[in-house]
């Protein structure tokens, strides 16, 4: 048995920056030494990306993970061959959206069958995904569907703060309506377990309120903190989880940023994403918590405005791969 995890790296939307950041990240010596990565995507698109960024890797199309060879300068690709060679960079394409779906589908199958120990995803474009006939808000919901998982959480990780979300890709009014004590409790538990699995023995968790000043004793809002959030927190406290809240979100993120909390529980998408992206977009990583497989991702989009120009920052992809290595079971068939 080898201790080097095998990671399926999905190419994301081929019209975006995914191919560029993948090529750069997989040629980083710290990544090639830590993981055996197999790209699920389009070999020719990766070759185009390599030329754009001025690199000359040996990009080899393979059919199975078992065919991969891990030598310096080589990138192994399970080539689905779904993209036309003249696909333009920087534009929404139904073809690219459909291809992005199939990259994830194949990676999920490989992970569920144990052929890889983690999935690391490059960004997809939601408009392209849906134009390609796959009606999902994003990776999180798509992976839940593919793995038969009823409920998952999105966790964002940076060197300064980690955030898990009670709700994500829904409108704010719908998010407030969906939040209830059971969902808050389950989200806290998923976040707690994720940190324990990552080596934090006793995580300290802070839970955001919904309203300004966490409602300030009923002054703001309609009592959401007391009815929707506090009961879920109290159940987790009774089970010995070191969790506090609901707390004012602005203060909580400040305290977490200086190290007082290991994890922040955000109630809705922008409450968590805004502070995280200010604190460390270039090193941010998205983790889907609650899946039966490990999944990490870059914490940025397809960046169509700079796709194909060779200037995309690949640091988030490197961090996503590093976190996948840390979280993946250290076992792979030798």
Confidence of residue 334 (pLDDT cuts 50, 70, 90): very low
CATH class of 1-149+291-334: alpha beta
Q: With pLDDT > 90 as the criterion, what percentage of the chain qualifies?
A: 82
**What pLDDT, in 10s, does the model give residues 261-303?**
999 999 999 999 888 888 765 667 889 999 999 999 998 899 9
Q: Where are the domains of the chain?
A: 1-149+291-334, 152-289
**What pLDDT, in 10s, does the model give residues 81-97?**
999 999 999 999 999 99
CATH of domain 152-289: 3.40.718.10
pLDDT of residue 331: 40
- 1-149+291-334 and 152-289 share one fold: yes
CB 236 within 8 A of CB 200: no
Number of helical (H) and strand (E) elements in the chain, helices listed first: 13, 12
Side-chain-facing half-sphere of 207: CA atoms under 13 Å: 29
Confidence of residue 215 (pLDDT cuts 50, 70, 90): confident
Side-chain-facing half-sphere of 73: CA atoms under 13 Å: 4
pTM of the complete model: 0.87
């Amino acid at each position: 048995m080898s201790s080097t995890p095998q990671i399926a790296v999905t190419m994301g939307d081929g019209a975006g920056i995914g191919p560029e950041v993948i090529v750069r990240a997989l040629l980083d010596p710290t990544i090639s030494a830590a993981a055996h990565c197999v790209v699920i995507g389009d070999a020719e698109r990766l070759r185009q990306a390599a030329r754009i960024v001025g690199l000359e890797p040996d990009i080899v199309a393979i059919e199975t993970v078992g065919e991969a060879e891990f030598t310096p300068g080589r990138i192994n690709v399970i080539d689905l061959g779904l993209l036309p060679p003249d696909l333009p960079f920087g534009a929404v394409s139904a073809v690219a959206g459909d291809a992005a779906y199939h990259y994830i589908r194949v990676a999920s199958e490989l992970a569920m069958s144990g052929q890889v120990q983690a999935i690391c995803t490059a960004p997809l474009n939601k408009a392209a995904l849906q134009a390609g006939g796959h009606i999902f808000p994003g990776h999180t919901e798509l992976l839940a569907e593919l793995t038969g998982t009823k409920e998952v959480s999105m966790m964002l990780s940076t060197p300064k703060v980690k955030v898990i979300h009670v709700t994500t890709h829904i409108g704010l009014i719908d998010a407030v309506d969906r939040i209830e004590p059971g969902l808050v409790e389950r989200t806290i538990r998923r976040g707690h377990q994720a940190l324990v699995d990552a080596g934090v023995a006793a995580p300290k968790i802070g839970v955001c309120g919904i309203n300004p000043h966490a409602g300030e004793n009923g002054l703001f809002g309609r009592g959401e903190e007391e009815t929707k959030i506090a009961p879920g927190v109290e159940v987790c406290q009774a089970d010995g989880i070191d969790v506090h809240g609901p707390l004012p979100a602005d203060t909580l993120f400040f305290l977490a940023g200086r190290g007082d909390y290991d994890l922040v529980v955000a109630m809705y998408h922008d409450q968590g994403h805004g502070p995280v992206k200010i604190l460390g977009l270039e090193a941010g990583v998205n983790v889907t918590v609650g899946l039966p497989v490990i999944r990490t991702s870059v914490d940025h989009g397809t960046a169509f405005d700079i796709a194909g120009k060779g200037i995309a920052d690949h640091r988030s992809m490197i961090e996503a791969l590093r976190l996948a290595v840390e979280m993946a079971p250290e076992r792979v068939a030798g």
